[in-house]
């Protein structure tokens, strides 16, 4: 799939590069959300948006920031289920 070379894509790509050194998860997610909406409005959606290099770059950064592994992901999903049920959970914090 080729990129559409829209202004929304160019701005999103610039920020996707910029956030690679960032550590503020709130700012990263906010920036990602803003660019997803802009790209969607420019005609990129569905699988094309999910698999766009910008989406993958932001997702990669979030995975890296959260120190994501398959085991960590599975533990998080189990903890989310327990939190939803009102149960207290303990979780590992890995400093940056």
Per-residue 3-state assignment (H helix, E strand, C coil) for 7-53: HHHHHHHHHHHHHHHCCCHHHHHHHHHHHHHHHHHCCCCCHHHHCCH
**CA gap 32, 78 in Å, rounded:** 26
Residue 96: the pLDDT is 83
Residue 32: the pLDDT is 98
Are 65 and 19 in contact by the 8 Å Cβ rule? The answer is: no
Question: For helices 25-41 and 53-65, what crossing angle results, to 10°?
Answer: 170
Q: For 4-53, write each residue's pLDDT tens digit.
A: 778 999 999 999 999 999 999 999 999 999 999 999 999 999 999 999 99
């Amino acid at each position: 799939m080729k990129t559409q070379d829209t202004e929304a894509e160019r701005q999103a790509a610039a920020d996707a590069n910029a956030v690679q050194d960032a550590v503020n998860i709130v700012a990263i997610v906010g920036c990602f959300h803003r660019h997803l909406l802009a790209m969607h409005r420019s005609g990129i959606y569905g699988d094309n948006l999910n698999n766009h290099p910008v989406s993958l770059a932001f997702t990669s950064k979030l995975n890296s920031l959260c120190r994501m592994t398959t085991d960590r992901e599975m533990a998080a999903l189990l903890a989310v289920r327990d939190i939803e049920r009102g149960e207290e959970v303990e979780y590992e914090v890995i400093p940056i």
